Amino acid sequence: MTLTTPKTFTKTWTNSADPAAKRDMWNAMKRGFFCRCPNCGEGKMFRAFLKTADHCDRCGQEFTGHRADDLPAYLVIVIVGHIVVPIALWIETNYSPSVALQLAIYLPISLIMSLWLLQPVKGAVVGLQWALRMHGFGDGHEH
Ligand SMILES: [Zn+2]
């Protein structure tokens, strides 16, 4: 009985085997965070504060397929909470100013940060969904 070495596979499947299927997730999220089209990085993603445009005015990429829903709002709450709460705890521990003064600072800061972050975070979520071909961003255009 002779042992033969198994034939090595010359073809390994990678993402680069099908370049059309590869979408850079981080790049898409970064472009979305700056409210740009995740596909070309140039066209605007939004036509109003939280209203995505129907399609990119540069490359024609459709944005109607996104399903960001409430995720951006949840993410913003998590992000702002993780910034404001530690600061509040640190200030209370070290300086303990009056509660009224603290509320007068933390509430507007939380509100402003939330409003400021909502659009970029939504853009990043849409970019992520586009990169992963989720929902309406798939090739089958399923709706
Ligand atoms: Zn575009």
pLDDT, mean of residues 79-94: 94
| Cα(52) to centroid(ligand 1), Å | 13
Length of the chain: 143
| Cα(36) to centroid(ligand 1), Å | 8
Q: Name which of 60, 57, 33, 55 is nearest 126 in CA terms.
A: 33
User: What is the tens place of the pLDDT at every residue in 31-84?
Assistant: 999 999 999 999 999 999 999 999 999 999 999 989 999 999 999 999 999 999
| Cα(53) to centroid(ligand 1), Å | 11
| Cα(114) to centroid(ligand 1), Å | 27
The burial class, CB within 10 Å (0-12 / 13-18 / 19+), for 83 is middle
Where are the domains positioned within the chain? Answer: 24-131
Is the pLDDT at 141 greater than 70? The verdict is no
| Cα(131) to centroid(ligand 1), Å | 13
pLDDT at residue 22, as a whole number: 80
| Cα(16) to centroid(ligand 1), Å | 22
Is the pLDDT at 5 greater than 90? The verdict is no
More confident residue, 41 or 4: 41
Q: How confident is the model at residue 142 (pLDDT cuts 50, 70, 90)?
A: very low
- The structure's pTM equals 0.78
